[in-house]
Amino acid sequence: MMRFKLVLYSGLLLVAASFSACREKRFNNLKKNHCPASASILPAADSAVIIFPNAFSPNGDGKNDIWKPLFNEHIVALEMSVVDLKGKVVFASSGLHDGWGPTNDSKRGMTQYVARVKATSTSGNVMDACMNIYTYYCTPKKTPVDNSELIFIDQIDLSRPGNYVPTMEQLAACD
């Protein structure tokens, strides 16, 4: 979503795009460069299940400190990569149970990344998808998504109908 601000300065009309529009453009460019042209999903008949949190909080409190997908025993291979807004790959793994947490703990507020995940099921089906992920060190006043759209890893419970439970994460407001 592009937002514009009209500014009248010394008789000149200036148009300035907001920071969120710039961030969205960078995300679209990252997805073009690091994600498959067409995402694939696992067929409904496949017994494999994989769910991705889109938010985590690597603040060292033991809750949601690492980002990783959760899946059932029918996922047999997993490849992941995470790219920052500058296009740098900050994490890559082909380990089935690996997860990622940023090593720079000096960040504050919220940071965005693009993750690509390729999963293979016991039936040989392949899912290849990209998603935005958000790291929260505290809760900023303005966020690119509504808090109700965030799914933290501790909200995913594959044994429950609907798979989601309330998060246990309680983040302080950013200064």
User: Domain range holding 93?
Assistant: 50-155
Cα 15 to Cα 175: distance, rounded to the nearest angstrom: 29
Among 63-67, 91-95, 122-126, 149-153, the range scoring the smallest mean pLDDT is 149-153
Cα 145 to Cα 171: distance, rounded to the nearest angstrom: 16
Cα 80 to Cα 63: distance, rounded to the nearest angstrom: 21
Q: What is the 8-class DSSP label of residue 58?
A: -
User: For residue 82, what pLDDT band results from cuts at 50, 70 and 90?
Assistant: very high
Is residue 129, in this structure, part of any structural domain at all?
A: yes
Is residue 100, in this structure, part of any structural domain at all?
A: yes
pTM of the complete model: 0.75
Per-residue pLDDT, 120: 95
Among 60-69, 70-79, 130-139, the range scoring the smallest mean pLDDT is 130-139
Burial of 38 (0-12, 13-18, 19+ CB in 10 A): exposed
CATH of the domain at 80: 2.60.40
Question: What is the pLDDT of the chain when averaged over all its residues?
Answer: 77
Contact 162, 155 (CB under 8 A): no
Other C-beta atoms closer than 10 Å to the C-beta of 36 total: 12
Is residue 6, in this structure, part of any structural domain at all?
A: no
Is residue 123, in this structure, part of any structural domain at all?
A: yes
Q: How many domains does the chain have?
A: 1
Over residues 145-157, the mean pLDDT reads: 81
Over residues 124-144, the mean pLDDT reads: 84
Residue 69 scores a pLDDT above 80: yes
Residue 137 Cα distances to 23, 162, 173, angstroms: 19, 27, 9
Is residue 54, in this structure, part of any structural domain at all?
A: yes
Is residue 84, in this structure, part of any structural domain at all?
A: yes
Per-residue pLDDT, 66: 92
Q: State percent of the chain over pLDDT 70.
A: 74
Over residues 48-76, the mean pLDDT reads: 90
55-56/126-136 β-pairing: parallel
Is residue 27, in this structure, part of any structural domain at all?
A: no
Is residue 10, in this structure, part of any structural domain at all?
A: no
Residue 150 scores a pLDDT above 70: yes
Per-residue pLDDT, 173: 78
